[in-house]
């Protein structure tokens, strides 16, 4: 992926902004390029902002950006990054997908940030390539594209394709790009400009550790929560959870009430229902399939629990798709 600087002129990248694109991921991609130019005193990078029709594109925060071009203005480009955020699984603009395939045929190197892998996959441009995607879309992506190897890495670079999982991951990926093209020292200088002291390790987890996410430090409670998160389809009985960390059921219940303000059963139920909500909104799985994937013995019991937590039935998550 762009591992060598062009022999002449700056490295040029295009950014295709999909409506509702994540502004933070976009700036995490373009700002390191700007900083590399500044820190080196040379124009190492140049970029073009592209929208489908050449009109302004609204980000997920409602801030609109004015593009330099529409897709009809560009027949070829050395490298392109698709920036997609909210509900990328719904983007099915055929003309844009055909345009991406055309660029790829001409040797364009393709990247996707945050939910951008969805768009590349739908265009057929991730076949036989590893990729990653933001953790929120991971389950739905894997269900829709079972033949594509998707990982949980912060970023993936595989031949002519490169993908990142979110804003922080995108910054790490761009720093890697700068290091590959112009050396470690410049990459470090750019990182320091953003006070970025991360490890730049693509294998680092996408989500915060449970200790930080839930602001708890009790090691046995953390171990139980880890087991719960890893076993949503086949929930572990409370006796087994307790014995796995050398505590009694009552001790586990006390820990949950003290630190998380709810019973272990309630916490486990909420984990499963939140996963169900994600599957319903991002995949074509039936309600029965979702209920089984989240550890419920029947669709009726699942629907009852779902309504109690979210105050509406599971089928309502599909309402926007059914109306469109």
Q: Quick check: 25 pLDDT over 80?
A: yes
Apex 172 CA angle, 168 and 173, nearest 5: 115
The mean pLDDT value for 273-301 works out to 89
Q: At what angle do helices 219-230 and 249-260 cross, to 10 degrees?
A: 90
> CATH number of the domain at 210-323, out of 3.40.50.1820, 3.40.50.2020, 3.40.50.880, 1.10.10.60?
1.10.10.60
Q: Quick check: 28 pLDDT over 90?
A: yes
Residue 320: predicted pLDDT? 47
Grade residue 68 by pLDDT with cuts at 50, 70 and 90: very high
Contact call for residues 163 and 131 (beta carbons, < 8 A):
yes
Strand 64-65 with 57-58, pairing? antiparallel
What separation in angstroms does the CA of 170 have from each of 78, 113, 243, 314? 19, 7, 41, 34
151 backbone dihedrals φ, ψ, rounded to 5°: -115, 175
Q: What's the distance, Cα to Cα, between the start and end of the chain in Å?
A: 37
Q: Which residues are CB-contacts of 58 (< 8 A; sequence separation ≥ 6)?
A: 19, 20, 64
Report the C-alpha gap between 260 and 225 in whole angstroms.
11
CA 28 to chain centre: 14
pTM, entire model: 0.77
The mean pLDDT value for 213-228 works out to 92
| 166 or 15, higher pLDDT | 15
CATH number of 11-193: 3.40.50.880
Place of tokens 């599971």: 314
Residue 9: predicted pLDDT? 84
Residue 321: predicted pLDDT? 43
pLDDT above 70 covers a percentage of the chain that reads 96
Which residues, in sequence order, are bridge partners of residue 12? Answer: 46
| 208 or 299, higher pLDDT | 299
Report the C-alpha gap between 116 and 82 in whole angstroms.
5
Q: What is the tens place of the pLDDT at every residue in 145-170?
A: 999 999 989 999 999 999 999 899 99
Q: Quick check: 207 pLDDT over 80?
A: no
Give me the DSSP letters along 189-226. HHHHHTT------TTS-SSPPHHHHTT---HHHHHHHH
The mean pLDDT value for 307-317 works out to 91
Q: What is the tens place of the pLDDT at every residue in 40-49?
A: 999 999 999 9
Mean pLDDT of the chain: 91
Q: Quick check: 324 pLDDT over 60?
A: no
**What SS3 class is residue 70?**
strand
Residue 34: predicted pLDDT? 97
Contact call for residues 96 and 88 (beta carbons, < 8 A):
no
Residue 279: predicted pLDDT? 87
Report the C-alpha gap between 45 and 43 in whole angstroms.
6
Give me the DSSP letters along 272-317. HHHHHHHHHHH----HHHHHHHTT-S-HHHHHHHHHHHHSS-GGGG
Domain with CATH 1.10.10.60 in the chain: 210-323
What separation in angstroms does the CA of 241 have from each of 189, 215, 232, 269, 284? 47, 21, 13, 15, 32
The mean pLDDT value for 211-236 works out to 91
| 258 or 8, higher pLDDT | 258
Q: Quick check: 323 pLDDT over 50?
A: no
Q: Quick check: 143 pLDDT over 70?
A: yes
Residue 203: predicted pLDDT? 72
Q: What is the tens place of the pLDDT at every residue in 105-141?
A: 999 999 999 999 999 999 999 999 999 999 888 888 9
Least Cα distance to 13 among 81, 68, 67, 61 occurs for 81
Grade residue 14 by pLDDT with cuts at 50, 70 and 90: very high
Q: What is the tens place of the pLDDT at every residue in 227-282?
A: 999 999 999 999 999 999 999 999 999 999 999 999 999 999 999 999 999 888 88
Domain with CATH 3.40.50.880 in the chain: 11-193
Residue 322: predicted pLDDT? 42
The mean pLDDT value for 276-304 works out to 90
């Amino acid at each position: 992926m762009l591992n060598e600087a062009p022999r002449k002129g700056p490295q040029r990248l295009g950014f295709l902004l999909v409506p509702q694109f994540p502004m933070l991921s976009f700036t995490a991609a373009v700002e390191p390029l700007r900083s590399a130019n500044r820190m080196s005193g040379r124009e190492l990078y140049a970029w073009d902002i592209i929208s489908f029709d050449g009109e302004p594109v609204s980000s997920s925060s409602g801030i609109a950006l004015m593009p330099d071009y529409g897709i009809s203005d560009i027949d070829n480009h050395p490298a392109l990054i698709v920036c997609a955020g909210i509900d990328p699984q719904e983007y099915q603009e055929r003309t844009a997908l055909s345009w991406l395939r055309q660029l790829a045929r001409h040797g364009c190197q393709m990247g996707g940030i945050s939910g951008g892998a969805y768009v590349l996959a739908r265009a057929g441009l991730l076949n036989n390539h590893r990729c990653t995607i933001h953790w929120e879309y991971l389950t739905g992506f894997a269900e829709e594209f079972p033949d594509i190897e998707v990982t949980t890495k912060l970023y993936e670079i595989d031949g002519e394709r490169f993908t990142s999982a979110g804003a922080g991951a995108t910054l790490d990926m761009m720093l890697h790009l700068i290091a590959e093209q112009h050396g470690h020292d410049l990459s470090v200088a750019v990182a320091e400009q953003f006070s970025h002291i991360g490890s730049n390790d693509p294998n680092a987890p996408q989500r915060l550790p449970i200790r930080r996410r839930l602001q708890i430090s009790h090691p046995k409670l953390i171990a139980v929560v880890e087991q719960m998160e890893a076993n949503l389809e086949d929930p572990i009985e409370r006796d087994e959870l307790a014995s796995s960390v050398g505590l009694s059921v009552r001790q586990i219940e006390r820990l949950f009430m003290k630190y998380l303000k709810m019973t272990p059963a309630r916490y486990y139920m909420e984990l499963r229902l939140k996963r169900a909500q994600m599957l319903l909104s991002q995949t074509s799985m039936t309600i029965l399939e979702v209920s089984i994937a989240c550890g419920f013995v029947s669709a009726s019991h699942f629907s009852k629990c779902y309504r109690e937590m979210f105050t509406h039935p599971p089928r309502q998550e599909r309402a926007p798709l059914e109306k469109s």
